[in-house]
Structures are given as C-alpha cells and as structure tokens.
A and B are shown apart, each in its own frame.
Chain A
Amino acid sequence: MNPQLTRRRFIKGVIASGAAATTTGAWYSATGQDRPSGFVERLIRLNVNGQTRSVDVEPQETLASTLRYKLGLTGTKLGCNRGECGACTVLVDDTPTYACSVLTHSMKKGRIETVEGLESANGDLHPVQQAFVEELSPQCGYCTPGQVMSAVGLLRANPNPTREEARLAMAGNICRCGSYDSYLDGVMRATELIG
C-alpha cells in the first residue's frame, strides 16, 4: 500500500472533490463516475491475482469499485463503503487492505489479491478457505471473503498465531451474524492445515 495514502488523506481528497458532499453522493464517489473536466482518463495496469489486468480507471475510483464493477471480481463485498466493516478486505502486497478506502490509481505498483485468487490451479481451496468450511465459520457469508483475506494476511505474517493474536489481527472485520468464534476456530484450524 502506498504509505503516502493514508485513509485520512483519502477521505480529505474525496471531500475536497465535492463528491461526498451529500449522503446519497457517497455511492457516486465510490463508483468513480465523476469526471472533472480536463482530466484525461488513463488505462492502467493492475496486478490482480497474479495476472496483469488493463482497466480504465477514473480519478476517484476506489479499488473495490474497480474489482467489482470493472473486473467482475464480485467476491469482494461492499458492506459500508466507508472503511468501517472490512467486507471489502483484499491483500495488497500481503497486507489486508480495505478496498473501499484506497484509490485504484494508488495500486498500480501493488500486488493485489482477492478471494477469487486463493484457490490453487487444480481447484483446491486455500487452507484458510478449507478450514472455514470445516469449522462452518460463515453464517450469512457476506463478510466471509473479507474474513478470509484478513486470515490469509495474518497467517502469511505469522503462521502460528495464538487465538488472542488471531483475534487482534481479525478485529477490522465485522460480522453482524456474530460468527467471530467460528472464524477464530477456522483460523486456528488453518494453522494446522498449513502445518
């Protein structure tokens, strides 16, 4: 993630553009359909799930919008679209990142991974996905892709976390069904599967 682009700076930028001036404008800003006059659209290349994807990106477009509406990667969910819930979590250079709260233009040098990129070429589930199935971690499932990505990010950084460490690492992902305990069971099971 671009260290220069903090969430606060991003929000200030959006507000300055006027796109988030109204409640109903929040979606408008997130879909990046605002086109300030004189600005030249750019076809940029993104590294998504190990593939280079060329995509036409608007200046204020968030990564979540690009993934969902331009690249068809709808596994990344939008729960709040304002950095509260974590349903849109993806990995950028192995770091769990709220895709609703970063601009796609800032991701040009990043290695982006979404939930669709976790399965192996032969269709085997990633150990975190497999563990979440075995432990029946999801309930409604809407937050699950974000939970999966946060867990994958955690286990890459710390393959053997304690349950308490996992709890802290997953704390940015809300589950309204309250399935936290089952997700933590899943993370601990994943550590066993990864070995």
Chain B
Amino acid sequence: MAYMHIGKDFTPPDVPGKVTGRIKYAEDYTREGMVYARLLTSPIPHARVVDIDAAEALAMEGVLGMLTADDVYPDGEPQSTGLKMLTNEPTLVGEPILAVAAVDEKTAETAISRISVTFERLPFVLDPLDSLQPSGADAYNGGNTFVFRQGFAVEKWSADQVASFRAGNEPTAEPQQTVAYGDLEAAFGESSYVYEGTFTNAGYPHHSMEPRSALAYWEDGKLYLHGGSQSLTAFADGIAGVIGVPKEDLVFVNAATGGGFGQRARAGSIPIYGVPAKLSQKINRPVMMRITREEEFTIGGARQGLTGWLKVGFKPDGVMAACDLWMVSDNGGKGGGADAYSAADCVSVLYQADAVRFRGTAIGTNTAHRGAQRGPGQNQIAPIISPILDAAADELGISRFDIRKINTPMTGDVGGPQRTPFTSAYMPEALELAAEQFGWEERQSRRRQTNGSKVIGLGIGQGYHNAGRSGMDGIVMMSPDGRLKVHNGVGNLGTYSYASTSRAAAEVLKMPWERVDIITGRTDLHLPITSPQDGSNSIFTNTRTFYGAAQDMLAKMKEIAAIDLGGAADDYDISNERVHQIANESIGMTFGQVASRAIELGGKYTGSADLPEELAEWTQISVSRLAGTGFMGVFHDSVHEGNPPGFTVSCVEIELDKETGKYEILDLINVAESGTIMHPKGMENQLVGGAVWGIGLSGYERHLYDPQNGMPASTGYWQSKVPTYLDTPVKIQTGWVDLPDPENPVGARGVGEPAQGSVSAALTAAITDALDGHIFGASPITADMIINHIAGTSENSVPLAQNNFRG
C-alpha cells in the first residue's frame, strides 16, 4: 500500500534538541527557591530500623526538614515485596531509609551524617537456592517468597533436593506454579534426540544513562513533578496514586528520558519520585533530588536471575516434540516478575513444540530490586535454547538453519500455554531474509576454521516478544489555522515512537508532516492515556488509537461539509488539506475552515458532547480541559484479537581466541519481522540497540555481590560491563520483512525487545560453535568461563548460584 508517511524516514522533533543539548532532562531544571534532598540509605542488606535520632541534624542551620517511612506510610508500610518510597524494613543495601532537605547538598549531606539510625541486623541471603535450604535465611521479614494476594510465605526444600539440583538434576520439590499443554511423556517418547541440563541467567542492572533525579514543587494546589519515565501519561496516572495526589492536580513534566528499558515504564518502579514531592509539600519549597550512579544502581532495578533445568526432545525430522522447563527465579530484595513464565511462553511460540511444561518458584534475595527489563524471560531463554537447537541439528543431520525453519511459527499457528493465535507471523520470511543477507550458507565453510589460537564460530538465533496491546485512547485537535495537533501521551525514551505513532493520524488526514504538531512532554497539555511504553507494544497499540482519533476527525469533517455544502457525508473525501465533494472537488472547505465551523457548532465537534463511553479517567480529564477549545477527534480503542508478535532473526560470525577467551564479532545481522515498518531509521536504531544489549546479555552483564557483607560490587558501568564501541562490531547489518499485520490499521507491530534476544541467541550459539559444541548453559559466558573450559579446569563458583561470578 502506498503511504504518505508510513515507512518513510523523518526527523522527530526532539532530535535537534538532543544534539545541541537544549532538550531538558529532569535534573536540568531549576526553580526559584529550590532546595536539595539527599537520601540516607541502608548500609546493610537486611535490617529493621529500630530508632532514628535526627535531633542534631534537624537543628542545623540550613536544614529544612526530613522525611521518613513513618511520614510516607502513617498507617504502616505496604506488606508486599514492591519498592517503597522509604522504608524501615530494608531488604537490600542502598534502599532509601529517609531523606533530608537543606539549602544545599553539602548541608543535607552533613545533616545525614549526624543522624543516628539504629538498625537491628537480620540474616541475609544472596542466592535463591541458599534460601531454599532448610536453614537458609529469608530475604523478607515475612519469609522468602511472596504469594500474590496472599502475602509473604516461607518456601523450603530439603538439603538433598537443593544439592541434587546443584548437581544438575531435575528439581524434585513442589513448584509454586505449573503450566502445561500437550502430552509431555508421549512427546519425549517420540523424540530421538533429548537434551537435558541445568542453566543460569545472571541478573544485571538496568543502568540507564540518566539517573532517576527528580524535581518537585507545589503551586496553587497542584504538584509539578519533573522526572524521567518511559510512559508519559501511563506513568503520571500511576504516580499520582503512589504519591496520593488527585490525578487532576498532578502535572508531570517529562520532555525526554535518559534511557528506559522496562524499569521506567510504571509508577511502581519509581516510587522514589514521591520523596521530593512529599518533602516539597512538607517544607513548602521546590525540592531537587539528585540521584548518584550508585543510588541509581539500587533504585534503578535489574533483570531477574534465573536458575533452571530443562529437557528438550526432538523428533527424527527435527521437530521440537517437547520442552520441560523448571526455573527458580531470583526476585531480589524488592519487586519480582514473570520472567520464568515468559521464557517458557517464548519457547512455545518460537519453536512450536508439541508439548510444553513450565514449573517455577520465585525466591527473594537481599540483592537489587528486580523487575521488567528488555524482554523479561524471552531474552534470557534465547541464549540457553539456541545452542540446544544446534546440538539437535548436528545430531539429527539437519542444518542449523533448517531446524529453525522446521519449527518456525507462521500465520495461523498458536503459541504459549494459552494457545493464542498470532495476528500474523512471518518468521519463515525473516529467517530466509537474514540468511540471504548474511550469506549464511556461503559462510558455512568457515565454521571452526582456525588461525593460530583463533577459531571461527557461526551462530543463528531468533527472538520473540508479544508486541501489541489495545484498549487505550487517542485525541487529535485542529485549530482554525488548519494545523493538526496530535496529543500524544507516549513517553520519549528514545525510540521515537511518540512521533511514529503520531504519523498514523497524519496519514489518515493526508496532512503534510510540517503541518502537524505533536503535543507532548508535559501532562498539562492534556494528553490521552496510553499503555505503559514497555513490552514492545507502543507502535501497535498507539497507532491504533491515533489512527482512530484521526478517523473520528475525518468523519466529523465530512459531516460538517455536508451540513454546510449539502449532500451526505459519504459524498465527501479529503485531499490537499481540504474536504470536498467527490463528484466535484471544487466544492469544499479547507481544513482551517472546517475547524472554525466545528468550533462554532460545538458539541461533539469540540469534545463537549457524545464522547466515547469507555474513555479512561485520565483521558476524560484531558478531554474536559480541551473541550470547546478546538476541533476534536477522540477515540477509545476496542480490544484486538490474537497475539501480535514481534520477531527477529540474527546471524553472527565471531573469531574466538582460545588463549585469552576473548572473541571479536566479525559480522552481525539483525532482521525484524514486526509488520509494516513505520520509520526505517527508528527501526534500525532498535535493531542495532537490541544487538548491543544482546552482546551484553551473552558476554558481559551480571550482578556481583560480596558474600561476606552482601555489598553490591557491580554498581558501575565497568563491573556489570555495559558493552562499548569496542565490544560491538564495526558495522551492524539490519533488515526487515515489512509485511502488514491485519490487526493494526497500518499493519505495524513492535520490535524493541526481541531485537536483543535473537542476537544473544546467535552470539551464544557462535561461541558454542567455536568451542566444538560445548554448551555452557549460562548467560553471560565470560572470558574466564571460556578459558576454564579450554583448560579443563573447574569454575571457582558454587554451581547454579546467583549474584556471584557464574550466575
């Protein structure tokens, strides 16, 4: 289909501000009378605050006030594992206990040094399997696990059960959760190749470039909060509840966000923004809370660690017959997630196994807060499963490419334990495209070629994440100047989807892009609710809403033209910013004239009547404030059918040095299958960015904790190493299938998350290939691990342990 905007490159309006430094992040703002908050954080991994003596600190000149958990939660802290604004029951080092506001940061810091906090030390634990031991410490005050809607609980295995799992055997304990479909026993019975083994996925920090600093002040009863989030209105909607301010009295200012990869999507992940808000309310001054890199490590969140056992069976023809997964999730000291379940879902989707069983248990440790992080679960399992497919292919005499084609999902298939049908799935096309562009077949002769101590490895991998939601709202406005204003609540975290989704509205109204304004960046510009911008959903979800809002405006344009110019609405069409009769294009009105007339007519044309019944409360507030100010199109999206998948395929060639354990990525391609491509440059960015994350997942990023004191040892960029220019290829190739999805009006789906998983799958497969098929069962695979394997020496770590040098 020939589009005016869809599939075309453009410059999102915030890009010049990013290259000039003009665009403002939260900490770039100042406010007259602004004072500074500093945090006192827990120095020990598990404790209870017995007493706080702040008399000396509060008597200091320049100290304006203090906020504690008792102020924030006068009725007691929520009894859940979620992050708290402040706490008297810290379960990890660095958890905020209290905050002090002062005229400058030195004074605030000095005041904190004069506060005496008496802690009751409590036992701590860093590894979920240690906690499962009969005498193992519990990370939380009420146990070592949290059962949804039931509360804290204690989960213990026998010492033999833990030891057996660490020795590589299938866990025999009762899991907290079991999900299954198909006849597992029969499927394994049909298998001629069965792989069985244990694995670890290390947790690792989010480490956004911009720390979670925030500025808050109150004016005329309204709270103005400057912060960074992935999801502008969805985040604001949630943080209002966290802070306890009515939605209509919150103005969230967030023009740009310095990185968000899951843990900046929802308000529950950043309750710390409530600290400056509540301090400001208490002392009646604007409060800036600057967050250091070390503090960002603690409050910024991290990926769950997974410790697992799996058994995978393949039929003689290469079909994956069965996959049995058992995973213990490391939920850290706060939060948690469904990574383990998502991992099983991903295997079901990507390889269409006849029978799948997932068993899982989630256990807390006194380590960093865990939660969503780019492809939670789907991406951890990708580097574990890919080498197993290769082993099966080699064993069954099938090519590594063909075994993926044999098991590929496609349109008409279902996936996951719920057996949900795909809205569409063009994975076969993606596999072919990646292989062709990379020259996969031609490169096979290079496999395991050696040059001195160096050896070539090749890998191919696939990635998946559900990539679309529905049920959100859209608003577009037009003023008498005829300019289209897209009120967009999608956050600006660097994907430019706030701009790409706006182009769906421009497409409907055939508006030149230079005549379109995107209204965003702060919520007092009256923006509709959107889905949280996570889980690769923004493109699918919000093209639906803005397309719908523009369709509403288009229908109203035709009605107005019919009212003024005669005939029926169906007699009219639009072109060149005019609505005109189809039969005689000279009879018509400019968009500006239509907008003027709409304002005269009022009612439904200006958002004053006949609104969609299911608009969210947030949207209703925005619409009520816009009503009567211009020509409005407004839309509530219905629920879509099926699972809109985001898929990627990657191929990697590496040269691994057996003397150093290091490898260089010689070539890498990352290919997307995410429906219609909205914005090629933006798609490229997602694919290269995901590739870098995949490289980090496979080779570098992990939590390290001091087992003696529970201190985090990976608070910076170099301890949990984020890949740099030198860890990534000189050039990353990209490509995409670009076929439309029928459940989206412009055919688009998202892709951010799988772009990481496929690269990690391919890179780990390439490492395995270079080492003659040795399966580590781990992410990351570090140089030390490679050297140990080559030398035949054992790794100096406890088997299957998390938060140490292996897991």
On A, residues with C-beta under 8 Å from B are: 22-28, 31, 33-34, 73-82, 84-85, 87, 114-116, 118-119, 125, 128-129, 132-145, 148, 163-164, 167-168, 170-171, 173-182, 184
Query: Are B494's CB and A138's CB within 8 A?
Result: yes
If A81-B292, A133-B15, A170-B725 touch, whether A180 touches B258 (CB-CB below 8 Å) is no
16 A-B residue pairs with Cβ-Cβ distance under 8 Å, sorted by A, are A24-B41, A24-B292, A77-B258, A84-B293, A85-B717, A118-B20, A133-B19, A136-B11, A140-B260, A141-B15, A141-B258, A142-B25, A142-B208, A173-B725, A176-B209, A178-B728
CB distance from B654 to the nearest CB of A (A): 17
In the bound complex, how far is the Cα of B681 from the Cα of A181, in angstroms? 12
If A142-B25, A167-B726, A171-B726 touch, whether A75 touches B494 (CB-CB below 8 Å) is no
- Closest A residue to B93 by beta carbon equals A23
Query: Are B293's CB and A140's CB within 8 A?
Result: no
- Residues of B with C-beta under 8 A to A129: 16, 19-20
- Residues of A with C-beta under 8 A to B211: 78-79
B106 at the A interface (CB under 8 A): yes
Query: Are B725's CB and A27's CB within 8 A?
Result: no
Most chain B CB neighbours (cut-off 10 Å) among A26, A171, A179: A179
Q: Which of A25, A31, A79, A82 is close to B209, meaning CB atoms less than 8 Å apart? A: A79
Q: Which of A143, A164, A178 is close to B690, meaning CB atoms less than 8 Å apart? A: A178
B222 at the A interface (CB under 8 A): no
If A80-B293, A178-B723, A182-B688 touch, whether A144 touches B109 (CB-CB below 8 Å) is no
Q: Which of B17, B682, B690, B716 is close to A80, meaning CB atoms less than 8 Å apart? A: B716
- Residues of B with C-beta under 8 A to A74: 21, 24, 27-28
Query: Are B20's CB and A177's CB within 8 A?
Result: no
- Closest B residue to A170 by beta carbon equals B725
CB distance from B592 to the nearest CB of A (A): 30
CB distance from B110 to the nearest CB of A (A): 8
In the bound complex, how far is the Cα of B113 from the Cα of A135, in angstroms? 48
CB distance from A15 to the nearest CB of B (A): 16
CB distance from B150 to the nearest CB of A (A): 36
If A28-B106, A142-B258, A171-B725 touch, whether A148 touches B19 (CB-CB below 8 Å) is yes
Query: Are A138's CB and B19's CB within 8 A?
Result: yes
If A178-B692, A179-B685 touch, whether A132 touches B19 (CB-CB below 8 Å) is yes
Query: Are A140's CB and B257's CB within 8 A?
Result: yes
| Nearest 4 interchain pairs by C-beta | A75-B21, A178-B692, A142-B258, A141-B18
CB distance from A152 to the nearest CB of B (A): 11
Interface size counted on chain B using CB atoms at 8 A: 70
Query: Are B28's CB and A163's CB within 8 A?
Result: no
Query: Are B728's CB and A140's CB within 8 A?
Result: no
Q: Which of B22, B27, B684, B728 is close to A75, meaning CB atoms less than 8 Å apart? A: B22
- Closest A residue to B298 by beta carbon equals A23
In the bound complex, how far is the Cα of B12 from the Cα of A188, in angstroms? 21
CB distance from B211 to the nearest CB of A (A): 8
- Closest B residue to A181 by beta carbon equals B688
In the bound complex, how far is the Cα of B17 from the Cα of A114, in angstroms? 14
If A79-B210, A79-B293, A181-B688 touch, whether A28 touches B109 (CB-CB below 8 Å) is yes
CB distance from B379 to the nearest CB of A (A): 13
- Closest A residue to B689 by beta carbon equals A178
B576 at the A interface (CB under 8 A): no
Q: Which of B15, B681, B730 is close to A167, meaning CB atoms less than 8 Å apart? A: B730
B133 at the A interface (CB under 8 A): no
Query: Are B725's CB and A28's CB within 8 A?
Result: no
Query: Are B294's CB and A84's CB within 8 A?
Result: no
In the bound complex, how far is the Cα of B663 from the Cα of A131, in angstroms? 31
B731 at the A interface (CB under 8 A): yes
CB distance from B325 to the nearest CB of A (A): 28
B38 at the A interface (CB under 8 A): yes
Query: Are B292's CB and A26's CB within 8 A?
Result: yes
Query: Are A115's CB and B21's CB within 8 A?
Result: yes
Q: Which of A73, A116, A176, A178 is close to B691, meaning CB atoms less than 8 Å apart? A: A178
If A136-B681, A139-B495, A168-B726 touch, whether A25 touches B718 (CB-CB below 8 Å) is no
Query: Are B20's CB and A116's CB within 8 A?
Result: yes
B372 at the A interface (CB under 8 A): no
B140 at the A interface (CB under 8 A): no
B624 at the A interface (CB under 8 A): no
In the bound complex, how far is the Cα of B21 from the Cα of A128, in angstroms? 13
Query: Are A140's CB and B730's CB within 8 A?
Result: no
B23 at the A interface (CB under 8 A): yes
Query: Are A141's CB and B11's CB within 8 A?
Result: no
Could you mark each residue 694-731 of chain B with 1 if its beta carbon is under 8 Å from any beta carbon of chain A, else 0? 00000000000000000000001110001111101011
In the bound complex, how far is the Cα of B25 from the Cα of A76, in angstroms? 11
If A84-B717, A178-B723 touch, whether A136 touches B20 (CB-CB below 8 Å) is no
Query: Are A139's CB and B685's CB within 8 A?
Result: yes
B112 at the A interface (CB under 8 A): yes
- Residues of B with C-beta under 8 A to A84: 293, 716-718
CB distance from B672 to the nearest CB of A (A): 15
CB distance from A187 to the nearest CB of B (A): 11
In the bound complex, how far is the Cα of B507 from the Cα of A156, in angstroms? 43
In the bound complex, how far is the Cα of B292 from the Cα of A148, in angstroms? 23
CB distance from A154 to the nearest CB of B (A): 12
B749 at the A interface (CB under 8 A): no
B275 at the A interface (CB under 8 A): no
CB distance from B678 to the nearest CB of A (A): 13
- Residues of A with C-beta under 8 A to B413: none
- Residues of B with C-beta under 8 A to A118: 20
- Residues of A with C-beta under 8 A to B684: 136, 181-182
Query: Are B18's CB and A125's CB within 8 A?
Result: no
Query: Are B717's CB and A80's CB within 8 A?
Result: yes
B493 at the A interface (CB under 8 A): yes
- Residues of A with C-beta under 8 A to B106: 28, 31, 33-34
Query: Are A82's CB and B293's CB within 8 A?
Result: yes
- Closest B residue to A173 by beta carbon equals B725
- Residues of A with C-beta under 8 A to B723: 178
Q: Which of A33, A132, A180 is close to B688, meaning CB atoms less than 8 Å apart? A: A180
Residues 728-757 of B at the A interface (beta carbon under 8 Å):
728, 730-732
Query: Are B689's CB and A179's CB within 8 A?
Result: yes
B535 at the A interface (CB under 8 A): no
Beyond A140-B257, A177-B692, 7 extra complex contacts between A and B, CB < 8 Å? A26-B294, A33-B106, A75-B20, A79-B211, A84-B716, A148-B19, A181-B691
- Closest A residue to B682 by beta carbon equals A136
In the bound complex, how far is the Cα of B722 from the Cα of A11, in angstroms? 23
B546 at the A interface (CB under 8 A): no
- Residues of B with C-beta under 8 A to A143: 209
- Closest B residue to A75 by beta carbon equals B21
Query: Are A181's CB and B732's CB within 8 A?
Result: yes
CB distance from A159 to the nearest CB of B (A): 19
CB distance from B694 to the nearest CB of A (A): 9
CB distance from B729 to the nearest CB of A (A): 8
In the bound complex, how far is the Cα of B285 from the Cα of A101, in angstroms? 32
In the bound complex, how far is the Cα of B12 from the Cα of A133, in angstroms? 9
Residues 232-272 of B at the A interface (beta carbon under 8 Å):
256-261
Query: Are A140's CB and B494's CB within 8 A?
Result: yes
Query: Are A24's CB and B109's CB within 8 A?
Result: yes
